[in-house]
Amino acid sequence: MKVLFLKDVANVARAGEIKEVSDGYATNFLLPKKLAERASTDVQNRFESQKRSEAKRAAEQEAGMKALAAKISGRVFTLTAKTGGGEKLYGSITTADIAAEVSSVLGLEIDKRKVELSESIRTLGTYEASIKLYKDISPQIKVKIVPELAE
């Protein structure tokens, strides 16, 4: 039976390929698990249109992330923290703190796991950080830590 593979199947075929497989393998494994469909021109055309729409959506998302990266690249985000007298902080500034500040300034949700620091922040000063927005789009930002003013 000829089938069009909808998903990758290890050691058999990749998604989008049309292959001849045994009838039992197709009817008992591939078709019930929706890994493949019987090959026909309608099925193949529908699969190709889905791939095109996914590629278009991915391209739009990448363009949006590039625009966002250009917008935030090199910006300085200021965070306040309690100090123990001098330069040393009580605790440290985490990626969650940075993500919250960036999210509040931009009005866009940034996940704390996307923020990458080269070193932990335990003193006042300016630090470099990068935000992984998309596959290979990681703009660099500056994080400035200032002391919290006592009231």
Going along the chain from its start, the domains and CATH numbers come out as 2-63 (3.40.5.10), 69-147 (3.10.430.100)
Q: Are 5 and 33 contacting, i.e. CB atoms less than 8 angstroms apart?
A: no
Residue keyed to tokens 């935000």: 131
Question: What's the pLDDT at 86?
Answer: 82
Give residue 150's pLDDT: 60
DSSP 51-104: HHHHHHHHHHHHHHHHHHHHHHTT-EEEEEE-BSSSSEEEEEE-HHHHHHHHHH
Which phi and psi angles does 106 have, rounded to 5°?
-85, -20
Q: Closest Cα to residue 80, out of 113, 114, 104?
A: 104
pLDDT for position 16: 84
φ, ψ for residue 135 (rounded to 5)?
A: -40, -60
Give the residues of the chain that fall short of pLDDT 50. Answer: none
In this predicted structure, what is the pLDDT of residue 108? Answer: 85
Residues in the chain: 151
Entry pTM: 0.69
Query: What is the model's pLDDT at position 151?
Result: 53
CB 102 within 8 A of CB 88: no
